Amino acid sequence: MRSTPRDFGLFVAGQSLSQIGDQCYLITLTWLVSQRSGSTAALGVVLALAAIPRALLMPFGGALADRLSHRRVLIGVNLLLAILLLPLIGLSSAGVDALWPYALIAVAVGALEGVLTPAAYSMVPLLVPGEVLERANAIFLGGVLISGIAGPALGGALLERSGAALAFAIDSASFLGVAGLLWLIRPTPRPAAAQRVSLAADLRATAAAVRADRVLALYIALLLLGNLAVAGPLEVGLVAMAQRVFLSGPGLLGTAMALFAGGSLAGTLLAGTLARPAWRQPLLFSGILGTGVALSAVGASPTAPLFLALVALFGGGIGAIDVLMQSSIQQRAPRAQLGRVLGVTLCAGKLLAPLSTLIAGVVAEAHAPLIFFAAGALWVTTTIVALAISRAMPAAAQA
């Protein structure tokens, strides 16, 4: 049964609302940990600890969504996240300086996000016909990014004027709102075949299918490299640049994150408008190479305005890459395995985040701009190698 435009609209509204709360949570947590520890290395450790379960649980989250229904998994996880954020409100209100309670909750949040993310990303093909998939992905990601513009700015303003507790409370409330919107969507049919084998067998079969598809394997390699290059600069590097290079407060960090989201929105809408199946791979590789150059340039910014402009440009590249990559993967995945295939590929997109944030935290102690120089050079070099491999593939393998 094909869902109605109303169902797709409710889904996009819910994910956009969730992003506002997520950005308030992220900017509040990163600033709080960095400020109370006085160390970007400590921030890198906390973010890495949260990223490990987030990445490792994505294949299980995708398999669970295929077995129980994507909508049901999304509702349950959002309700759990709403409850999990409540202790952070109390900790920040009480002025607790010890980092371990924040780290423990961050790890639990990361684990639940690992279950939630593949269910959300694989929901779009279940709600729209295949011929409008790229446009639907652009709307979905664009709605999330519009909220991403408001979320960081709101989080930064709340930190400066009202404190961390209110930002965490807004995130908790947003998860309740998302669960309510998802409840209004009509249930999608659950594949009966998924009940005949164990969860482990499901995951083994999906891993074998991904290994056999050379294009999917190439996309996974690109996701791994991109995550290694981007996670640390975004999660640790921007904080370090705001605090140590420009000697500014959370307002600059919030503005940078908002402009990154704004640039991502522009890139998302542009890719959704221009992309065609025949253009997808050339546009993807061109976007990755250009984005790698922009990433290096962020670290060379001599002034805060130029820094903000380059962050926005970098965001534009990331937005275009997301639409092209997700549409390509969704169309190659069998419908009954959407959650599992997206779980595996999204896991690849997050797997090296802990290493990236740890490296960025250590490097930022000595020289924050170096994070961006090294990451951009890594991404450009390895993508050129991947492009050469792609050109060597037979045309049949790319179909």
Q: Does residue 252 lie in a domain region?
A: yes
pLDDT tens, residue by residue, 271-324: 777 756 666 677 778 888 888 888 889 988 889 999 999 999 999 988 888 888
Q: In this structure, are residues 368 and 248 in contact, taking their beta carbons and an 8 Å threshold?
A: no
Could you tell me the CA-to-CA distances from 24 to 41, 157, 170, 370 in Å, in that order? 22, 10, 8, 27
Say how many domains are in the chain: 1
Q: How confident is the model at residue 198 (pLDDT cuts 50, 70, 90)?
A: low
Domain that holds residue 365: 5-185+199-398
* pLDDT for 20 beyond 60: yes
pLDDT tens, residue by residue, 373-396: 888 888 888 888 777 776 666 554
Please give the average per-residue pLDDT across 225-241, as a whole number.
Answer: 85
Say which CATH number the domain at 144 has. 1.20.1250.20
Highest mean pLDDT among 75-84, 256-265, 344-353, 379-388: 75-84
What integer pLDDT is reported at residue 131 of this predicted model? 64
Phi and psi at 249, nearest 5°, equal: -100, -170
Find the radius of gyration of the CA atoms of the chain.
20
Q: Does residue 162 lie in a domain region?
A: yes
Q: Does residue 157 lie in a domain region?
A: yes
* pLDDT for 174 beyond 80: yes
Please give the average per-residue pLDDT across 123-128, as a whole number.
Answer: 80
* pLDDT for 83 beyond 80: yes
DSSP state of 131: G
| Lookup result for tokens 């935290």 | 361
Please give the average per-residue pLDDT across 229-258, as a whole number.
Answer: 84
Q: In this structure, are residues 191 and 336 in contact, taking their beta carbons and an 8 Å threshold?
A: yes
Q: What are the percentages of helix, strand and coil residues in the chain, rounded to 5? A: 85, 0, 15
Q: Does residue 192 lie in a domain region?
A: no
What pTM did the predictor assign? 0.66
| Lookup result for tokens 């659950």 | 190
Q: Does residue 226 lie in a domain region?
A: yes
**Ramachandran region, residue 394 (left: φ > 0; alpha: ψ -120 to 50; beta: rest):** beta
Q: How confident is the model at residue 2 (pLDDT cuts 50, 70, 90)?
A: very low
Q: In this structure, are residues 224 and 234 in contact, taking their beta carbons and an 8 Å threshold?
A: no
